[in-house]
Amino acid sequence: MKKILLSVLTIIGLVLPAVATTRDANPIPTAMPSLTIAPDAHAAGMGDIGVATNPDLNSQHWNPSKYAFMESKGGITVNYTPWLTKLVTDINLAYIAGYYNMGDLAGTISGGFTYFSMGDVQLVGDQGQFFANARPNEWAIDLAYSRKLHEYLSMAVALRFLYSDLNNGVNSSTNTNSIEMYPAWTMAADVSLYYRQPIATPMGESNLAIGLNLSNLGGKMTYDEGETQHFIPANLRLGLSYELPFDDYNRLMLSVEANKMLVPTQYSKFAVDDDGNPLEGQQLKEWYTEISSPNGWWMSFCDAPGHAASNVSSTLEEFQEVQWGVGLEYSYNRQFFGRVGYSHENYYKGNRRYVTLGAGFKLSIFSLDFAYCIATAPSNPLDGTMRFTLGFDLAGIKDLVNNAK
């Protein structure tokens, strides 16, 4: 067990970034931040990009509309990511996804399950007294339906159940120096589009793809029976990909993607009193708690306060909230893959900046992928993060069984 003594408030701080202590740093806090982690090695190897890339088994997380373009009848994938290994050894993310194509007219059904374990933690009160061991965790399960609306266009809708237990069922109400916490849950939905058009070139058929995903559109979560409420990571993701063949065997895909959290900033320019003075402390927290989810989605586009001292306008800070990435994938005979990417988040919004590398191979029955993260920001605990993905093609397995008979 990790020898870490944390109060319940500190556990919240590990998962829900607190109100920024300075207006120069203004990150966007959410509940269930594990939903923003790239769960698979394919996308992670390309700079955490996946909304407009070629359809694959992990499309459930990035854009379930892509399943409508899958050539196989069905498949399942298992993913594993040791998380923050520079700091601890027992935090990890596991993700399982799968799909089944019922036909062009019937559409495709798919599902996914995410489990994030925060390791073993010793809970203590405000005075440092130990009162329990806990293993905080959060998980989400989702189902999606996708189908083609046109030869080149598909759409999907998904429903998701989210659950977060930060103190692992340990009720600290008996400790007068601690805070009562309870598991939190909510429901959310995704709406996505995927456009993929083949383009004839002298070297063969290329593919142009555009992807859009509005994800985690749902209610807020509370750990204290409604006294405070936290937004979940509602998100707008937009991407563009172009795959170019060099010959019958060699292909290169370039992808770019932008990601905007649909969550209002806590230091909002709208958070002012009747005299126009910025709200602080408890007043700010109460104001933020009262914002509904739909209002928060719209506010997220226009509520940034800006940094007067740094000569940063409100509009410029809104653009700072956009996380972007670019990725390349080389494939040989659609069996062997090499990937590289870059992901960028503004310094004042979290400073997650890193180069990613990835590799994979695919056979008729199964596929295997690996990704590695190289942080470019100093002292970044994400440096060295590895991801592993194992996929199975149901049609390939069925053919293997039939041939063995």
- Tell me the fold of 5-404: Porin (2.40.160)
For residue 267, what are its two tokens? 């230091």
Whether residue 282 is predicted with pLDDT greater than 90 in this model: the reply is no
How far is it, in rounded angstroms, from Cα 39 to Cα 34? 9
Comparing 178 with 401, which gets the higher pLDDT?
401
pLDDT at 311: 65
DSSP annotation string for 173-212: GG-TTS-----EEEEEEEEEEEEEEEEEETTEEEEEEEEE
pLDDT value of position 9 = 39
Question: DSSP secondary-structure letter at 401?
Answer: H
Longest C-alpha distance within the chain, in Å?
A: 81
Residue 128 clears pLDDT 90, i.e. is over it: no
**Per-residue pLDDT at 45:** 97
Secondary structure (DSSP) of 48-104: S--SSS---TTHHHH-GGGGGG-SSSEEEEEEEEE--TTT-SS-EEEEEEEEEE--T
Residue pLDDT, tens place only, 355-368: 999 999 999 899 99
Range from 16-30, 275-289, 332-346 carrying the lowest mean pLDDT: 16-30
Average pLDDT over residues 65-73: 94
Average confidence (pLDDT) over 251-265: 96
- Residues in a beta bridge with 352: none
CA–CA dist 62, 190 (Å, integer): 10
377 pLDDT above the threshold of 80: yes
Which carries the bigger pLDDT value, residue 282 or residue 368? 368
Say yes or no to pLDDT of 130 above 80: no
- pLDDT reported for residue 260: 95
Q: What pLDDT does 157 receive?
A: 98
Distance CA 29, CA 19 (A): 8
pLDDT: which is higher, 159 or 223: 159
Which pLDDT score, from 0 to 100, does residue 119 have?
A: 86
Smallest CA-to-CA distance from 263 within 230, 240, 311, 225 is with: 230
- Region 253-260: what's the mean pLDDT? 97
Q: What pLDDT sits at residue 306?
A: 76
Flag whether pLDDT at 152 surpasses 50: yes
Residue 79 pLDDT > 90: yes
Where do the domains of the chain lie?
5-404
Above 70 in pLDDT, residue 18? no
Kindly tell me the number of DSSP H helices and DSSP E strands found in the chain: 7, 17
Half-sphere exposure of 156 (CA within 13 A, CB side): 35
* pLDDT at 318 (0 to 100): 87
CA 150 to chain centre: 28
As a whole number, the mean pLDDT across the chain is 87
Position 170 scores a pLDDT of 66
